Amino acid sequence: MEFGINAEFWAIVALILFIGVILYLRVPKMLGTSLDARIKKIEDELNAASKLREEAKALLASYANKRQEAEAEAQAIVTAAREEASRLAVEAGAALEALIVRRTKAVEEKIAQAEAQAIAEVRGRSADVAVEAARVLLTQQMAEKGEALVSQAIKDVAAKLN
């Protein structure tokens, strides 16, 4: 085998020079630094994402807690409204009962007053009828026995005077 300068030799020389230039320029260190920076950036982004995830979980838990509190408050409001409605219904029933009692009493008083007025009218009318009957009866009796009564009265007066 002959060691001559051929294309393979120049390819090997070029490769060695290329590797030497790369090492001289510290390209592997730059690549490592660049990769380390990229890794650090990705780790920072992952940490930030993890923090955001934790904050989102905390916020979700907070909102879930607030929702439960709001539901409890709404339930308390509904319960209070039902109790208030029941109380108002009882009060309205009592007020209605009192109104019925007052109206019944007023109607009974009007009936009693009307009865008293009717009795007074009947008594007045019966007195008028009795007076008219007595007048008619006396008129008839005076017409029939009037002269006899007058002469009897005159005799009585004469007897008492003597």
- Per-residue model confidence (pLDDT) at position 162: 67
Mean of pLDDT over the chain: 87
- Per-residue model confidence (pLDDT) at position 3: 58
Q: Would the pLDDT of 87 be above 50? A: yes
- Per-residue model confidence (pLDDT) at position 44: 96
Kindly report the pTM of this predicted structure.
0.42
- Per-residue model confidence (pLDDT) at position 4: 62
Q: What are phi and psi of 25, to 5 degrees?
A: -80, 0
Domain boundaries, given as residue ranges, for the chain: 10-157
3-state SS, residue 2:
coil
Element (H, E) at 113: helix 27-161
